[in-house]
Chains A and B, each alone.
Chain A
């Protein structure tokens, strides 16, 4: 069965701290896709990144980086030098090749960055 677990419900940091959001997934498929979405207080889900299961290269985009490790079924997200604007709920999601592309979401991690 497919499942995504984000064990951290809420994280609070002070501006400029680095923070890592954890994501662990379960799937029987050998081909699958992992996503991160950001949901700011305004409510709209914003796409951040997609990785496929054959690409374990870590990715960096500005202050954001992602660490994908198939051996531990994890896809963690790190924000370097956090800013107040990073405050949001972050969702990790899984999509399986054998499925219709529907997203299975984790419960989300609420990140609060204090000035």
Chain B
């Protein structure tokens, strides 16, 4: 079946612009996670959604970052007023339930000029 799908694959934007990254999880997976992978910080958790529960936003680095998950399926990660330190690969993962193995998408490589 289809895996986790992320778009766009690559995004180049100017500092100060807003960006939206999209994640389409595996069908039937109730848990969805966003992570960020950068050279200096490794792989970091950003946010978690599980069904209709309140999301765990404890990993979001600043209030410029937000995410939503509509209808328990597709998720969008939004970064406002981008900064150069936001340059990274943003990874989305989904799992049947929390604590089950997570399956990752190919990521969105974000470059801030």
Contact = CB atoms under 8 A, between A and B. Distances in A.
B48 A50 contact: no
A47 B103 contact: yes
B106 A47 contact: no
B106 A102 contact: no
B106 A44 contact: yes
Interface stretch (A11-19, A61-69, A73-81, A104-112): A104-112
A87 to B, nearest CB: 18
B101 A50 contact: yes
Contacts of A44: 104-107
A105 B42 contact: yes
Interface of B: 31, 33, 35, 42-45, 48, 50, 56, 59, 89, 91, 93, 95, 97-107
21 contacts: A42-B106, A44-B104, A44-B106, A44-B107, A47-B101, A91-B43, A95-B99, A97-B99, A100-B48, A100-B50, A100-B56, A100-B98, A101-B31, A101-B50, A101-B95, A101-B102, A102-B33, A103-B33, A103-B35, A103-B45, A108-B43
